[in-house]
Amino acid sequence: MKVLRTLVQVLFLGGVVALLLRGLAGHTPNTCEYYCPFGGLVALYPLARYKAYACALTELNVALLVSVLVLTVVSKKSFCGWVCPLGTVQEWLGRLGGKLFRRRFRLPKGVDRVLMNLRYVVLIAVPVLTFTVWKFDLGFRAYDPFYILFTWGGHETAAFSFYIVIGVLAAALLIPFFWCRYLCPMGAAMDPLSRAGALRIRRNRDTCTDCGECDKACPHAIPVSRVDEVTARNCTNCLDCIEECPVEGALELSWFGK
């Protein structure tokens, strides 16, 4: 399963890089923004009120948003752990950082809990600023590491935009999934649905030895060994916990924990 997930990650990351290269070569006007599900969320207000799309957003963004939310209901944040190119880059950098520093850095629990709420601030701020300060323009482009990285300085980015990308990528080396964990607005929008996601990890108490290897393996610091079902909002069904579990059948991917 780990090989399959890596292949899927490479496929989607390769696709967005290919789109970037085609754009830089002048072969297509479309950028990663054209396929961004969060753009669908930003598009909802003007679509409902004015029956029009803001800036470069289209019905495809809305369709992708709906698809991602349905996928979240079915399989938690598997979109983040299997599909999202920025999530893939964050994950790989986190692994590299673990090898370089021989450990995974974690913020104190209290600080971590507070910072995780920043995602909701960003989730609210982006649409509000889009329709007020930025006057229906997508001003968030200049601050969005996904857009900046995969357009290589696309429309409306600025010199400081590259420093944002550098900062986010450097932070991912130290703290796994820094952007995803603390700042990603799409992740924040998925949180409530992810908690109820049907496809989830189940722990079998009868065979579990409480060795804690699953806790160490989880890149999102979820205490897998202390729950019967993993319903945590940050679970991406990466299946690292199952891969590292030394007892066959102690952890299984299940449908509503059954």
181-227 pLDDT per residue, tens: 999 999 999 999 999 999 999 999 999 999 999 999 999 999 999 99
pLDDT score for 37: 96
Closest to 209 (Cα-Cα) out of 169, 249, 170: 249
Structurally, the chain folds into a number of domains equal to: 2
Q: Are strands 199-203 and 251-255 parallel, antiparallel or unpaired?
A: antiparallel
pLDDT score for 256: 84
- Whole-number mean pLDDT of the chain? 93
Q: Are residues 54 and 36 in the same domain?
A: yes
Q: Are residues 75 and 162 in the same domain?
A: yes
Q: Are residues 188 and 202 in the same domain?
A: no
Q: Are residues 136 and 161 in the same domain?
A: yes
Work out the burial of residue 163: count CB atoms within 10 Å of its CB; fewer than 13 is exposed, 13-18 middle, 19 or more buried. exposed
Q: For residues 50 and 42, what is the distance between their CA atoms, to the nearest angstrom?
A: 13
Q: Are residues 68 and 130 in the same domain?
A: yes
Task: Write the pLDDT tens digit of every residue in 163-174.
Answer: 999 999 999 999
Averaged pLDDT for residues 25-36? 91
Instruction: Name the domain boundary from 193, 210, 231.
Output: 193
Q: Are residues 177 and 217 in the same domain?
A: no
Q: Tokens representing 209? A: 């030895």
Range of the domain at 69: 2-193
Instruction: Name the domain boundary from 139, 159, 193.
Output: 193
In the structure, what pLDDT confidence band is assigned to residue 155 with cuts at 50, 70 and 90? Answer: confident
pTM score above 0.75: yes
Report H helices in 133-177.
145-151, 159-174
Q: Are residues 225 and 177 in the same domain?
A: no
Q: Are residues 207 and 133 in the same domain?
A: no
Q: Are residues 122 and 220 in the same domain?
A: no
CB atoms within 10 A of CB 104: 16
Q: What is the CATH number of the domain that holds 204?
A: 3.30.70.20
